[in-house]
Amino acid sequence: MVLEAKNISFQYGRDTKQILENFSLRMESHERVGIVAPSGFGKTTFCKILSGYEKPDGGEVLLDGKPLSSYGRYCPVQMIWQHPEQVVNPRLRMREVLKQGDEIEEYIVEGLGIEEDWKNRFPAEISGGEMQRFCIARALGRRTRFLLADEISTMLDLITQSQIWSFLIGEVERREIGLLAVSHSMPLLESVCTRIIDLEHL
Amino acid sequence: MKHLNGRMAAVFLFGLAVLFLAAVTAAGWGFEEEALVTDFSRKNLEPCGQYLFGTDWLGRDMFIRTLTGLSMSIRIGLLAAGVSSVLALILGTLAATMGKTVDGVITWLIDLVMGIPHILLLILISYALGKGFKGVVIGVALTHWTSLARVIRGEVLQLKEALFIRTAQKLGATKFEIVWKHMLPHLFPQFLVGLILTFPHAILHEASITFLGFGLPPEQPAIGIILSESMKYLAMGRWWLALFPGLLLVFTVVLFDVAGESLRRLLDPGSAHR
């Protein structure tokens, strides 16, 4: 499958800085694309537009030539956020959070190092890193075709980072899920991605 | 273990409060006949072993009258507060989710009801419905939903934009799941607080319109009637007529507060540790 962003322009309200201007990107399922840029370049905003959280002021997002809204309730482009605590309902136990995903298989849960007793806890009772693993697992549902990873490993220690990234790379490669990784860390992207776009030196 | 103890204490408090309120309500219900019994051989007795709360100018046992009155007030308060809170929940949610026109109409209705003095609207509704139990309950319910509806409308508007709700939508949750699983649990504490705050209002308003003659008939000894009747006898030194019913009324309201607070702690995972 092909995920395309055509001539995207975006700004948050009038009289604010134009964040994205005529930005285009085309990526295929077998690719792992990295976007690197310093803070404030609109990396997160671009991810939000790609997965349909924000509507662009100009341009369009197409998956295999069709808009995302034509793919039914489950969005095939899933996003993993930098701050997992914002995207998890604080009143659900982690077991329920996991069930929100589209038939998450057990090997994914195990591969990400999620421990059985974390599942009975509420989000307030686990750490950010533990919660992030649930969010990654939740995004790896059956119908996911593209995965947008927005600074997903900033709260993880180095060993956990490499464990999670190597699982993630194996998984997207096997299932031919397109991966878009966003970071300000060039070394991380170089070890993860097949193609890197530097927004600062475009 | 600390976590468990906090929750256990909350459960215990909640259970105790509910038990007491249920006992008073049930006991009062059972005594309804006896509360009306007059006996002039025992009138105006001060509190003693046999008549814990004394007797009044018609020789009625004030303990039984107080229990019956409290029971009646709790039932009216619960029913009216419950109806008005549910009304607020439904209208608040509808206003926030059903688009601009519905929002406009409901907001206008809220402003309208808020603009008319409570007691005036209450008297009108109660009188139009033939006074009595039904009139009071419907009157109180229809006048007390507005501020909670406003709070809930604002809350839902905010929730709609919350990232965890948007994410649930992206993960394929249906509209029903969004409202039921993700929104209602967040609204519940607000709803509960609203319910508890409406309860004393309901009792007080019931008492005031009863006092003015537009509420319950005098043969139904609600706490409001007992209190307003006792006023006349306070100057004659019969302090017990107003003191005990008044104290018990305050106690009841406090208990509702305790029950609500402990329930809120049970429902809010963030405060489970405290």
Nearest CA in chain A to B163: A87
Q: Which of A81, A90, A102 sits opposite B171 (nearest CB)?
A: A102
In angstroms, the separation between the Cα of residue A43 and the nearest Cα of chain B is 17
In a domain, B66, yes or no: no
Helix (H), strand (E) at residue A21: strand A20-28
Smallest Cα–Cα separation from A92: which of A125, A116, A136? A125
What confidence score (pLDDT) does residue B268 get?
A: 67
What whole-number percentage of chain A has pLDDT above 70?
Answer: 100
CB pairs under 8 A between A and B: 53
DSSP B240-269: HHHHHHHHHHHHHHHHHHHHHHHHHHHH-G
Q: Which residue in B has a C-alpha nearest to residue A89's C-alpha?
A: B164
B158 in any annotated domain:
yes
Domain A2-198: which CATH class?
A: alpha beta
Q: Is there a domain that residue B156 lies in? A: yes
Integer Cα distance of A192 and A111 in angstroms: 17
Among B166, B173, B270, beta carbon nearest to A90: B270
DSSP labels, A120-189: GS-GGGS-HHHHHHHHHHHH--TT--EEEEESTTTTS-HHHHHHHHHHHHHHHHHHT-EEEEEES-HHHH
Number of domains within chain B:
1
- Pick B200 or B92 by higher pLDDT: B92
**B213 SS3 class:** coil
The answer to whether A76 and A146 have CB atoms below 8 angstroms apart is yes
Give Cβ neighbours of residue B75 (< 8 Å, ≥ 6 apart). B25
For residue A34, the cross-strand partners are: A181, A196
Instruction: Report if residue B261 sits inside a domain.
Output: no
Place of tokens 């939903």: B145
Q: Checking DSSP bridges between strand A58-63 and strand A66-67, what pairing results, if any? A: antiparallel
Coil, strand or helix at A83: coil
Res A181 pLDDT > 90: yes
State how far the Cα of B46 lies from the Cα of A116, in Å rounded to an integer. Answer: 66
In a domain, B175, yes or no: yes
**Listed range (A179-188, B45-54, B107-116, B142-151) with the worst mean pLDDT:** B45-54
pLDDT of residue A167: 93
Lowest mean pLDDT among A23-32, A119-128, A170-179, B225-234: B225-234
CATH of the domain at B105: 1.10.3720.10
Mean pLDDT of all residues belonging to chain B: 82
Q: What integer is the mean pLDDT of B190-197?
A: 78
- Does B181 reside within a domain? yes
Burial environment of residue A114 by CB neighbours within 10 A (0 to 12, 13 to 18, 19 or more):
middle
Q: What is the dihedral of CA A144, A150, A152, A158, to 10 degrees?
A: 120
Entry pTM: 0.74
For residue A53, list chain B residues with Cβ-Cβ distance below 8 A: 166, 170
Range of the domain at B237: 76-256
Which residues face A10 on adjacent strands?
A20
In DSSP terms, A6 is beta-bridged to: A60
Distance of CA A9 to the CA centre of its chain: 20
Strands (E) across chain B are located at none
Q: Where are the domains of chain A?
A: 2-198
Q: Distance from first CA to last CA of chain B, Å, rounded? A: 12
* Residue from the list B169, B170, B185 with its beta carbon closest to the beta carbon of A91: B185
Exposed/middle/buried for residue B40 (C-beta within 10 Å: 0-12, 13-18, 19+): exposed
Highest mean pLDDT among A17-21, B22-26, B170-174, B184-188: B170-174
Question: Which of B26, B224, B213 is closest to B132 using CA atoms?
Answer: B213
Cross-chain Cβ contact B172/A72 below 8 Å: yes
Q: CA of A98, closest CA in chain B: separation in Å?
A: 11
Q: For residue range A40-54, what is the model confidence (pLDDT) as tens digits?
A: 888 889 999 999 999
Tens digits of residue pLDDT in A160-179: 888 999 999 999 999 999 99
Which carries the bigger pLDDT value, residue B243 or residue B87? B87
pLDDT band at B164 (very low <50, low <70, confident <90, very high): very high
What is d(CA B183, CA B159) in angstroms, rounded to the nearest whole number?
7
d(CA B70, CA B24): 7
CB A83 within 8 A of CB A45: no
Distance CA A147, CA A29 (A): 10
Range with the poorest average pLDDT among A113-122, B72-81, B178-187, B205-214: B205-214
Confidence check: pLDDT of B1 > 50:
no
H/E segment holding residue A63: strand A58-63
- What average pLDDT score do residues B24-41 get? 76
Angstroms from A75 CA to nearest CA on chain B: 5
| A63 inside 8 A of chain B by CB | no
pLDDT at B269: 60
pLDDT interval class at B162 (50, 70, 90):
very high
Q: How far is CA A138 from CA A134, A144, B218, in A?
A: 6, 10, 63
